[in-house]
Amino acid sequence: MRDPDFTLTAGPTASSPRVLAALGSPMLYDYDPVFLERFRGLETKVAALMRTSSDVVLMQGEAVLGLEAAARALVRPGMTALNLVSGVYAKWFGLWLAEYGAELVEVEVPYDEAVDPAAGARALADHPETSLVAVVHSETPSGVLNPLREIAEVVRAHGALMVADVVSSLGGEELDVDGWALDLCVAGPQKCLAGPPGMSLVSVSDRASAGVYEDKGIPALKDWLSRALRNPIEWLERLIPDEQDGISATLRELVDSARCDLVLTTGGTGPAPRDVTPEATLAVADKVMPGFGEQMRQISLAFVPTAILSRQVAVIRGQALIVNLPGQPKAIAETLQGLTQASPPVHGIFATVPYCIDLIGGPYLETDEAICKAFRPKSAVRTRPT
C-alpha cells in the first residue's frame, strides 16, 4: 500500500516534512529552560495568529479537551446559555453546557446552512437573562462558515460572554479575537495549521478568566420582592462559587451573624455534579419544609417537563426561612407569584412565606395583594391602625 502524498480529509491534515522531522527530535524535559523558552514563544505566536493580547493557554490534549474545559469553567448552574447550532460540533458543545447545569437555549439551522446573526439577536431578546453564547466558526464536516464577527457584535451589545470554536478556522479564515471581542476561543493545530493533533490552543479574555457575566437572578428577585412587600427591606447580597461548603458557610453567616429572616438562593438545584445547593442547604437545617419544593415543581411543570429534575428545598434554621429558587428571572417570578391566570390558579410559594415567618418568631410581613396575597388564618391577621 502506498501512503498518499496528499489527503482531503477534514483533519488531521497532512503535515510538511519539516514538521514531521521536528516530531522526531529528542524529547526535552518540561522544566528545561530551553523547553520553557520554546513554550512561551509558542504562546506568543498563537496569540499573534489569533490577534489577541489576552492570555493563551496551551493544553496537552486534542481540541475537544479545550472545548469541554471551556464549558466546565464558564457554566454556572441555572445560568441561561445560548448555543447557535449549524452542525455536529455545536450540538456536541450544547450537551456539555446542559450537563454542567446551564438552562440551554438553542438556535438550530440545517447542517449545510450558516446561522443568521438576526436569529441570535431574536433569541437574546426572547431570553434577556442569557449570560453566555456559543458558536462554531467553521463546522468541519460540512465546511459551513458562520459569520462570527457579526454574531459577536450582537453578543457584545447584549453583554454576554462569547465562546467560539475556531478549531478548523484558525489560520484559514479571518479571525480577530480582540477586535471582535471574543471572550474564549478554542483551536487546534491539526487543521489549517497542518500540525500534529494533541493540543488545545485556548485564548482567554480577562472577562472569561474572571467568570464575569451579568447576574440576572438577584436583580429579578429584588425587583419582585420590592413590588410584593410593603415592609422596608434590608438587602444582603452574596454571589459565591458553586461549592457546597462555601454555600453552607454563607447560609450560616446570613442567618446566625447577619440575623436575616428570609434567605433566598437562586439556581444550582438540578441533577448535575455541580448542583450542590440543596445539599448545602440541608446541611444547615434545623427543620425541613418539603411542601415548598413540591409546590415549586408543580409550578414549573406547567412550562417544562424537566421540572421533575429539580431538587429545590426549603428549611428553617433558627428564626429564618431558607428557600432554594430557580435561577432564571422568569422562573423566579412564576415560582414566587404563582400562575394566577391558570385554570384553576396555582398558588405561588410566597403566599405562605409571611405566615411561616410568623410561626418561627420573625417579623410580620405584609404584601401588596395585587402582586401576591399572603395567606394567614383569621386569628393571625393583624389589622392596620387607622
Question: What pLDDT is recorded for position 356?
Answer: 97
Is the separation of the CB atoms in 316 and 360 below 8 Å?
A: yes
Exposure string for 141-174, b = 16+ CB within 10 A, e = fewer: ebebbbbbbebbbbbeebebbbbbbbbbbbbeee
Query: What pLDDT shows up at residue 383?
Result: 77
pLDDT at 344: 82
Per-residue pLDDT, 16: 84
CB burial of residue 319 (10 Å; 0-12, 13-18, 19+): middle
Tell me the C-alpha distance between 314 and 282, whole Å: 8
In the chain, list all ranges with CATH 3.40.640.10: 17-209
Output the nine-digit C-alpha cell for 56.
Answer: 493563551
Q: What pTM did the predictor assign?
A: 0.62
Q: At residue 319, what are phi and psi to the nearest 5 degrees?
A: -110, 30
pLDDT value, residue 1? 59
Q: What is the mean pLDDT of each successive set of 10 residues along the chain, which is 386 residues long?
A: 66 83 86 89 93 92 93 88 96 94 94 96 91 95 94 90 96 94 94 91 88 70 93 89 88 96 90 87 97 93 85 96 88 89 86 96 94 93 72
| Predicted pLDDT of residue 210 | 73
Q: What is the pLDDT of residue 216?
A: 67
pLDDT value of residue 20: 86
- pLDDT at residue number 294: 94
- Range list for CATH 3.40.980.10 in the chain: 217-380
* Confidence at residue 32, expressed as pLDDT on a 0 to 100 scale: 87
Cβ distance 291 to 262 under 8 Å?
Answer: no
User: Which CATH number, 2.60.120.620, 3.40.50.300, 3.40.640.10, 3.30.70.60, labels domain 17-209?
Assistant: 3.40.640.10
The CATH number of 217-380 is: 3.40.980.10
- Report CA-CA distances (Å) from 282 to 219, 245, 317: 25, 12, 10
Q: Which of 206, 210, 207, 162 is nearest to 186 (CA)?
A: 162
Residue 242: the pLDDT is: 76
The DSSP element (H or E) to which 217 belongs, if any, is helix 217-228
CA dihedral 189, 145, 113, 105 (to 10 degrees): 70
